[in-house]
């Protein structure tokens, strides 16, 4: 192949690459516009009971003036977020520790693994009646339900990561005469971090889902409560407004998890750059 030829091929492929890049920037915008258009179409017509984007925006403005249950929209969002964050922190600390214990120590796994599996197969929402009987309807029982939903994926992924460590890393530890503590802290846990973070990511989305469900079942604050309130009072714009908030916050949570992962595991970030 002559150099001239490769030049042409290169620039053509470069052009194609650039066009692709532009396309990938445009497509998401197109899809959101399409969704809004569909929404407007679906809500069109006088008889439609489905609120339009304008109705939802009006509802938003009204909410800003008149709180629900003495709380503004932001305070409701904060109430949900507070529950989620407390439950998440607890689930990470306890879930990762427990996952490491049963993933690394075979005896601990034989002893505690079956108990964990038995608890794990019960969905977190099924705990609500029992937890309500035991702890009433305050803040703590809600956080506890969210914790139960969040801690399961953390434990499962941590355990999987810790029991499937690539032998070559452990061999390095042995060649350099690492003691048991060093083996765990310098070799095993770092090499399981990928798996642990997969659990952390899942826990964030699980916690967000469970908190909404828990709030819908009882409570006087939170975004889940807003949805129930909208439904009970036939206030559909409020329902849609809450759904949009849920979507946006869910996305922000997911992005935050990625940022945390990059902060804790800088080597994975460098790989993708």
Partner 1 sequence: MDGKKVKLSLEHISQSYVLNNRAFDAVQDINFDVYDSEFLVLLGPGYCGKTVLLNIISGLEEPVDGTVRLDGEVVKGSDPRIGMVFQKTSLLPWKTVMENVEVGPKMAGVAKEERRKTAQKYIDLVGLQGFEKSYPTQLSGGMKQRVGIARAYTNSPEILLMDEPFGALDAQTRYSMEEEIQKIWQSEKRTIIFVTNNIEEAVYLGDRIVLLTNRPAHVKAIYDIDLPRPRDTVSPEFLRIRKEISDNTDLAL
Q: Which residues are at the interface with partner 1 (CB under 8 A)?
A: 168-169, 171-179, 182, 186-187, 190-191, 193, 265-267, 270-271
DSSP state of 71: B
CA–CA separation, 241 and 244 (whole Å) = 5
CB of 182 to partner 1, least distance (A): 6
**What DSSP assignment string belongs to 18-52?**
HHHHHHHHHHHHHHHHHHHHHHHHHH-STT--SPP
- Comparing CB distances to partner 1, the nearer of 139 and 186 is 186
| Minimum distance from residue 166 beta carbon to partner 1 (Å) | 9
Whichever of 2 and 273 has its CB closer to partner 1, that residue is: 273
Closest approach, Cβ 122 to partner 1, in A, equals 35
DSSP letter (8 states) at residue 68: B
Question: Would the CA dihedral through 191, 195, 201, 203 be positive or negative?
Answer: negative
Pick between residue 147 and residue 187 the one whose CB is nearest to partner 1.
187
Our CB check for partner 1 shows the closer of 11 and 182 to be 182
* Smallest separation (angstroms) from partner 1 to the CB of 193: 7
Nearest to 87 by CA among 139, 156, 161: 139
Reduced to 3 states (helix: H, G, I; strand: E, B; else coil), residue 165 is coil
Name the residue nearer to partner 1 (CB basis): 184 or 249. Answer: 184
Minimal distance, residue 264 CB to partner 1, in Å: 10
């Amino acid at each position: 192949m002559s150099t001239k030829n490769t030049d042409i091929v290169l620039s053509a492929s470069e052009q194609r690459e650039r066009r692709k890049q532009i396309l990938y920037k445009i497509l998401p915008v197109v899809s959101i516009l399409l969704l809004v258009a569909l929404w407007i179409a679906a809500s069109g017509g006088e008889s439609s009971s489905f609120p339009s984007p304008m109705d939802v925006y009006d509802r938003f403005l009204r909410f800003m003036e008149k709180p629900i249950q003495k709380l503004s929209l932001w305070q409701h969002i904060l109430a949900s977020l507070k529950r989620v964050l407390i439950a998440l922190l607890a689930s990470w600390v306890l879930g990762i520790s427990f996952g490491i214990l049963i993933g690394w120590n075979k005896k601990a796994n034989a002893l505690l693994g079956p108990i964990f599996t038995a608890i794990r197969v019960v969905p977190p929402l099924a705990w609500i009646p029992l937890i309500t009987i035991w702890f009433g309807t305050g803040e703590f029982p809600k956080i506890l339900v969210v914790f139960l939903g969040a801690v399961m994926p953390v434990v499962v992924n941590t355990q999987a990561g810790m029991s499937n460590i690539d032998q070559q890393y452990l061999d390095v530890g042995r060649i350099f005469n690492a003691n048991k503590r060093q083996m765990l802290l310098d070799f095993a846990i770092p090499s399981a971090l990928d798996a642990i973070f997969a659990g952390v990511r899942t826990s964030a989305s699980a916690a967000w889902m469970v908190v909404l469900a828990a709030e819908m079942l009882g409570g006087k604050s939170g975004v889940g409560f807003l949805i129930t309130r909208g439904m009970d009072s036939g206030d559909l714009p409020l329902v849609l407004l809450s759904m949009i908030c849920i979507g946006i916050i869910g996305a922000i949570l997911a992005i935050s998890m990625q940022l945390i992962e990059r902060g804790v595991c800088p080597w994975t970030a460098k790989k993708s750059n």
